Amino acid sequence: MNEIRPINWTGSRLELLDQTLLPHQHVTVRITDYRAAAAAITEMRVRGAPAIGVTAGYAMVLAAAELQSRERDHFIGALREAGAHIAAARPTAVNLGWAVRRMMRVAEAEPDPGSIRPRLEQEARRIQEEDEAINRRIGEHGRALMPADGQGVLTHCNTGALATSAFGTALGVIRAGWEAGGRFKVYNTETRPWLQGARLTSWEFQQLGIPATLIADSAAGVLMQRGEVSCVITGADRVAANGDTANKVGTYTLAVLAHENGIPFYIAAPTSTVDLAIAHGDDIAIEERPQHEVTGYGGTPIAPEGTPAYNPAFDVTPHRYIAGIVTETTVCRPPYTESLRQAVDAA
């Protein structure tokens, strides 16, 4: 099987596998301008916390290429403005701002303006390569949490290669468990309204040859009541210092259902998704997306015209519902204020 790699840098251009069209159309978007890269993030042509961090890195390279001719202080000032534009493309995933800050630190440390662009390119490539290596380590740490043969794991949204540079986080843990010989059952939610689960996760499992059963989001409760789910694992967009975790809307519902049914609920995320500057989940900004994503799909209306809709893209799962947070350094366990700090320091 060829590894799925949704983000490709050619040396002068960013190529993204357009996730608004998958799985039925495979279209590559070619981007040469940082504003177009930011728009691709907002429009979710590329999505998933680590993937938008990697994209932000290359968007900064494109910005530097555009600003190249300026005098150093002007250059840094203009790059900072471009960085603010890129970081504002979506509010919830910390990886976006994290990548922009990392790129800015590299630019600011470089005295020769002519060397800034190549240094940024090197750093963006490093972020992408590190992401794949980190995901593989998350898989190694997390695979022991997967259920015994015949028992079920449930996942939500898309946390696979498409949401990262390769391999994935929560989906990567499931993959690692399966590649280690586990023959547990896999369930994935469709993940309304954008259908990351039905469109992207189901496709990735097919590519991997891992049998996975798709469920409507609202079927999770009955599946758990019937004993079909032995653990739940999802990704994260931002983990607060106390372990409260923002992830795709519906994650909180699954965590409460898992708690009610005595099922462990896990998060898998790189330490770059841990935001120690945020004490608890109430302070995480939750993106609200357009109403038409709920009232219709793919340009086809579902609800009667004029129906108002509320479309928060994420929710926050309180840390008390989370049995463990799998990172590239370790599986963090409560109390998270200590274990997350240790994991971040060890990274």
Catalytic residues: 237
Q: Which residues between 69 and 98 bind ligand MRU (CB under 6 A)?
A: 93
Residues in CB range of 287: below 8 A, 6 or more apart: 90, 91, 92, 312, 313, 314
State how far the Cα of 46 lies from the Cα of 39, in Å rounded to an integer. 10
Contact call for residues 69 and 21 (beta carbons, < 8 A): no
For residue 167, give the nearest of 136, 143, 207 by alpha carbon.
Answer: 136
Residue 92: CB minimum distance to ligand MRU, A: 8
State how far the Cα of 182 lies from the Cα of 264, in Å rounded to an integer. 18
Task: Give whichever of 14 and 116 is closer to ligand MRU, judged by the CB atom.
Answer: 14
Task: Give whichever of 11 and 298 is closer to ligand MRU, judged by the CB atom.
Answer: 298
Residue 238: CB minimum distance to ligand MRU, A: 9
End-to-end CA distance of the chain: 30
**Which of residues 128, 188, 189, 196 is near ligand MRU by CB under 6 A?**
196
Q: In this chain, which stretch among 43-51, 60-68, 69-77, 222-230 interacts with ligand MRU, using CB under 6 A? A: 43-51
Site string for ligand MRU, 260-289 (x = CB under 6 A): ------------------------------
Residue 28: CB minimum distance to ligand MRU, A: 19
Task: Give whichever of 5 and 70 is closer to ligand MRU, judged by the CB atom.
Answer: 5
State how far the Cα of 189 lies from the Cα of 254, in Å rounded to an integer. 10
Burial class (CB in 10 A: 0-12, 13-18, 19+), 85: middle
Task: Give whichever of 53 and 83 is closer to ligand MRU, judged by the CB atom.
Answer: 53
313 near ligand MRU (CB under 6 A): yes
Task: Give whichever of 76 and 93 is closer to ligand MRU, judged by the CB atom.
Answer: 93
Let me know the angle formed at the C-alpha of 336 by 333 and 337, rounded to the nearest 5 degrees.
150
State how far the Cα of 315 lies from the Cα of 253, in Å rounded to an integer. 9
For residue 174, give the nearest of 195, 159, 164 by alpha carbon.
Answer: 159
Q: In this chain, which stretch among 56-64, 230-238, 291-299, 323-331 interacts with ligand MRU, using CB under 6 A? A: 230-238
Q: Which residues between 234 and 263 bind ligand MRU (CB under 6 A)?
A: 234-237, 247-248
Q: Is 292 helix (H, G, I), strand (E, B) or coil?
A: helix
State how far the Cα of 152 lies from the Cα of 224, in Å rounded to an integer. 9
Residues in CB range of 174: below 8 A, 6 or more apart: 146, 153, 155, 186, 210, 233
For residue 159, give the nearest of 1, 6, 16 by alpha carbon.
Answer: 6
Residue 155: CB minimum distance to ligand MRU, A: 9
Residue 149: CB minimum distance to ligand MRU, A: 26
127 near ligand MRU (CB under 6 A): no
Task: Give whichever of 48 and 142 is closer to ligand MRU, judged by the CB atom.
Answer: 48
Site string for ligand MRU, 146-175 (x = CB under 6 A): -----------x-x---xx----x------
Residue 292: CB minimum distance to ligand MRU, A: 16
Name the residues that contact ligand MRU, by CB under 6 A.
47-50, 93, 157, 159, 163-164, 169, 196, 234-237, 247-248, 313
